[in-house]
Structure 1
Amino acid sequence: MENVIQNIENLDWPAITEEMHKQGYVVIPNLLTDLQCDLLKKGYSDSTLYRKTVVMERYRFGIGEYKYFDYPLPELIQTIRSQLYPHLAVIANAWFRALKVDKSFSMKHEDLLTDCRLKGQEQATVLILKYSQGGFNTLHQDLYGEIYFPMQAVFMLNEPEIDFTGGGICTNATNT
């Protein structure tokens, strides 16, 4: 876990913050090692790690499936969450101030989790997605109660052009 902590701390957070303010997202390459990615992928078949599996076609969320992790989270995922959160909370607080939203986030991830538990939001919302050929995820938002954090960290565990080809955002969709 030490290397992921060090990787997160060594990031150029002022540049990341600026990019988030400009674009609303940032791509951070190589935050996880190949071994860490493989560990997460191999865990997909371990049903004891998950509380729920969603087949996306059933809900018109796309083609593929995802699984919600259960508590306790795997150590790697918990470490990533607790290390990224304070940096992202600074950005979220700036966004809420700019939007005149009367809410601010503590700099401690555990405080957010405590707030969630106090409102009855006790289940883990961390998930892992799996796609096969032709798979995709439609744009949708999952909110599970009054308490939420306005950002997500997404990790691609496969290598584009090596593990898969294609992908991207469909720009020729039509509204009907």
Structure 2
Amino acid sequence: MNDTLFTTAVAPVPTGAVPVEGSRVLPALAAVDWQDVREQLDRDGVALTGPLLSPAQCRVIADTFDDADLFRSTVVMQRYGFGRGTYRYYADPAALPVLDALRERLYPPLARIANQWAARLGERTYPATLAELHAECAAAGQHRPTPLILRYGPGDYACLHQDVYGDLVFPLQATIMLELPGEDFTGGENVFVEQQPRSQSRAIVARPQLGQAVIFPVRHRPAPGSRGYRRHSMRHGTNAVQSGRRTTLGVIFHNAR
């Protein structure tokens, strides 16, 4: 075995929207060190931020899981061989102002990182705003929003996968922890596997705390090689929950076909 283990420890609310403390106000985002995020992604393949959401915001978002009217679809994972647990796609992220604000404000700095990666790999670049990205998604026939909430109980887990959804794929995404590890649940670590050409795969484990985000590649990342940069494919999943309830928010930026 040569695998490596890396561990990381206000606008008016629209009619019908879910009220969340602070609505679209997310002061923690102003403190994010995006250079550090980029360096973590370049070095480790994943990046851990400080808390982006308050405990109250985490609690209210977690409670939306039980409001069926907010979602366009629900997936019971064991029915499809995806693992065990349930996730639900929001029908309209704008109905949850804090989620809408998160996507809008996380996207521009992540687009800058994505465009640096694109230059290294000779790939397409991405627009500066989320609205422009979604216009490109619409032109490609991708109209369905992809933010989702995921819930796991004891014994639940997610198999390794990639969140592609269509031909147009924004290369970075985030998952935000909505429960308190060690108190609300145990186990359930975020797991990533990086495939390295002509070498064994590398395992990465991340343990975000309440309100923290893990940022990671959707499909691959650039890694330096002897002849410039090469693509390292990455997949992600979740280790089995040992006890309690684990709820996370998935922030994916491109829409689905």
For normalisation by structure 2, the TM-score amounts to 0.63
The answer on 1:7 being equivalent to 2:25 is: no
Report what 2:151 is aligned to.
130
- Structure 1 portions without partners, runs of 5+: 172-176
Q: Whose RCO is larger (CA < 8 A, sep 6+)?
A: 2
Name which of 77, 80, 88 aligns with 2:99: 77
Note the C-alpha offset of 1:29.
Answer: 2.9
Report what 2:128 is aligned to.
107
Distance 2:168 2:63 in 1: 31
Report what 1:67 is aligned to.
88
- Structure 2 portions without partners, runs of 5+: 1-22, 193-202, 204-257
Name which of 43, 47, 63 aligns with 1:42: 63
Name which of 167, 173, 178 aligns with 1:157: 178
Question: Which amino acid in the other structure matches residue 108 of structure 1?
Answer: T
Work out the number of aligned pairs and report it: 169
SS at match of 2:176: coil
Question: Which amino acid in the other structure matches residue 80 of structure 1?
Answer: L
Report what 1:20 is aligned to.
41
| Root mean square deviation of aligned Cα | 1.6
Distance 2:47 2:74 in 1: 28
Question: Which amino acid in the other structure matches residue 106 of structure 2?
Answer: L
Distance 1:43 1:72 in 2: 12
Name which of 145, 158, 176 aligns with 2:166: 145
SS at match of 1:152: strand
The answer on 1:86 being equivalent to 2:108 is: yes
The answer on 1:96 being equivalent to 2:105 is: no
Does the 8 Å contact 2:71/2:90 carry over to 1?
yes
> Structure 1 pair 16/72, CA: closer, same or farther in 2 (3 Å)?
closer
> Structure 1 pair 72/32, CA: closer, same or farther in 2 (3 Å)?
closer
Identify which range, 9-18 or 36-45, moves more after superposition.
Answer: 9-18
| Residue-by-residue CA offset, 1:61-109 (whole Å, 9 max, x unaligned) | 11001001112431111100000000100111111111111x1111111
SS at match of 1:142: coil
Distance 2:166 2:186 in 1: 36
Note the C-alpha offset of 1:3.
Answer: 4.0
SS at match of 1:28: strand
Question: Which amino acid in the other structure matches residue 68 of structure 2?
Answer: S
Does the 8 Å contact 2:24/2:101 carry over to 1?
no
Does the 8 Å contact 2:32/2:50 carry over to 1?
no
Q: Which runs of 4+ in 1 moved over 4 A?
A: none
SS at match of 1:68: strand
